Amino acid sequence: MREGMKRTLSALLVCASLLVVAGPPAVAVAPSPTVASPSAAYRLPALVPGLPRAVRATTRPRHIEYVPRSEVAPAGRAARCSASTGPYQRQAERYLGRQVDGRQSTGDCRAIRRFQQAHRIAPATGFAGPVTGAIVRVMRARKDPNRAGHCPALAQRTACVDLNRQLMWVQQSGRVILEPVAIRSGAPTMETRTGSYRIYLRHRHHISNLYGTRMPYAQFFDRGEALHGVYEDIFSGAGSHGCVNLTMADARRAWEVLRKGDTVYVWGRKPGV
């Protein structure tokens, strides 16, 4: 009898945890074309974090760029200007008004390095890696993030999640009320689901029932998938478990702008998944 009661109680607890992450049904959205893959001298798999772990703990930059292994900045030594062509060389050249030839030059390196320093990307060596490419995408999108018209101009607040460009912004009646920010969506086999959803649960200090990890400023929109902040660099790792990860600062701003019942519209496909 006592053993049977324990099993019943365990089942109820599991159901309760599932209720927390259950949400309303989604409206399917056809995926839009993915962004073109970068072409350059160094491909993404060949890159590693550009700062040793010990240096990261003391300098605390906003973002850590991925660089060729031979260009990892040693502790206590100033990083040299990189002569290597990064996978996002052309994107950086175009945004910074350089000649777009996809080849690193001394002038390119200096311009990219200044951009990295302005956005606290370390090491600021002028290597156009994936983090620099992501910040370039954010900056280019700020003028008109919905230029392609993928996110519907609804009367209610809408969090627009563009998996193609790994960006999110919030708009209302077509007017941007939270400018584009970088995101980290689902990793391969755990891709963030596309569709039109409503925020059904908000929890400022949520802890995942499945993974036991903290999910600050969590705003759930589909069966456990949520917008939420992360404590690590959002550009680290292959991706999330399906949630839309934001920097802590951006998650806090999204929390202040959005409300329960607001729309979350997700489309596209993350490059590489």
List the catalytic residue out of 109, 151, 160, 243: 243
In angstroms, the CA 105 to CA 111 distance is 10
Residue with structure tokens 């200044």? 114
| Three-state secondary structure call for residue 206 | strand
Could you tell me what percentage of the chain is helix, strand and coil, using 3-state DSSP and rounding each to the nearest 5?
25, 25, 50
The total number of residues shown for the chain amounts to: 273
Cα 67 to Cα 42, 55, 61, 125, 255: the distances in Å are 9, 15, 15, 9, 33
Q: Is 63 labeled as catalytic in the residue annotation?
A: no
List the catalytic residue out of 63, 109, 160, 228: 228
Count Cβ neighbours within 10 Å for each residue of 186-213 and write b for 16 or more, e otherwise: bbeeebbbbbbbbbbbbeeebebeeeee
Q: Is 151 labeled as catalytic in the residue annotation?
A: no
The residues carrying an active-site annotation are 228, 243
